[in-house]
Amino acid sequence: MAPQLLRTVAEVSAWGAGLRRAGRRLALVPTMGFLHEGHLSLMREGRRHADVVAASIFVNPTQFGPKEDLARYPRDLEGDLARCAGAGVDVVFAPTEPGAMYPPGYQTYVEVTEVSKGLCGDRRPGHFRGVATIVTQLLCLFRPEVALFGEKDYQQLQVIKALNRDLHLGVEILGMPTVREPDGLAMSSRNAYLSAEERKRALSLSRGLGAAQALSRAGTREAAALVEAVRRELRAADLREDYVELVDAERLTPLATLQPGQPARLLVAAFCGATRLIDNQSIGG
């Protein structure tokens, strides 16, 4: 069945009030649209945790830098609604106006200090402030019991967990595994930017992470060696590294060596032509 389409904040408020009166549990999946299997996996999982599943589709302007791809970010509302229907989503919130969540007079921004540092936080100034602001808005507007996010955007997931905890929002935040193409490339709306030739070279991110994981399983503990395994693949495919880093899986602080029992994460960001791609992998621990 086609999901109910809500186009304004006022419509979401009224709909949410009805839902709470009926005592129904809500799962929310925030997205920027151009949906793929990664997004749909979150929606299907939402169904297992709630009576009602809502998705939002909003290309959030505040999380894009001035030189980033806001204007050309891929959009396909009609296709997305069909995909949401297939994934059993009940309600889609897709604001009509790009400024809908930032009307005239808007002046409230959310800044998560520690886990926003380093990695994408350093390379994309203001990005996580934009993410934290829109996600806080959506969690306050929908008041879901559960909200689902992908580990594909690993630092973003830690930012959202922090704001939910620190602002006492009381939502259960579920982080879901990265859905990949059969050859290992992490699914992303931005993969649509890649030419056929770039698409092949883009595999070097997941290949590098796989090589590092194999090394760690064989006993390598030094971050430098694990990072180098990823860099080698990026170089071989002629990708330009943005960062490759081994960090503590929760605090995202840099690690020099893997420690037994300490969950760690290896994260990579690289430019494939003009397209910036990210990926990450749990490692050791």
Is residue 252 exposed (0-12), middle (13-18) or buried (19+ Cβ within 10 Å)? buried
185 binds ligand AMP (CB under 6 A): no
SS (H, E, C) 172-191: EEEEECCCECCCCCECCHHH
Plot region of 219 (φ>0 → left; ψ -120 to 50 → alpha; else → beta): left
Look up 49 and say whether it is catalytic: no
Phi, psi of 260 (to 5 degrees): -55, 135
152 binds ligand AMP (CB under 6 A): yes
Q: What is the CA radius of gyration of the chain?
A: 19
87 binds ligand AMP (CB under 6 A): no
Q: How far is the CB of 35 from ligand AMP (least distance, A)?
A: 8
137 binds ligand AMP (CB under 6 A): no
Which one of the spans 100-108, 132-140, 166-174, 176-184 is the region binding ligand AMP (CB under 6 A)? 176-184
Which one of the spans 2-10, 148-156, 210-218, 248-256 is the region binding ligand AMP (CB under 6 A)? 148-156
Residue 187 or 249 having the CB closest to ligand AMP: 187
Query: What are the helix (H) ranges across the chain?
Result: 9-21, 37-49, 77-86, 119-123, 127-142, 154-166, 196-201, 204-217, 223-236
**DSSP class of 203:** T
187 binds ligand AMP (CB under 6 A): yes
Among 80, 90, 153, 233, binds ligand AMP (CB under 6 A): 153
List residues with catalytic annotation.
39
Which residues in this chain contact ligand AMP in the complex, by CB under 6 A?
31-32, 38-39, 41-42, 149-150, 152-153, 176, 178-179, 186-189
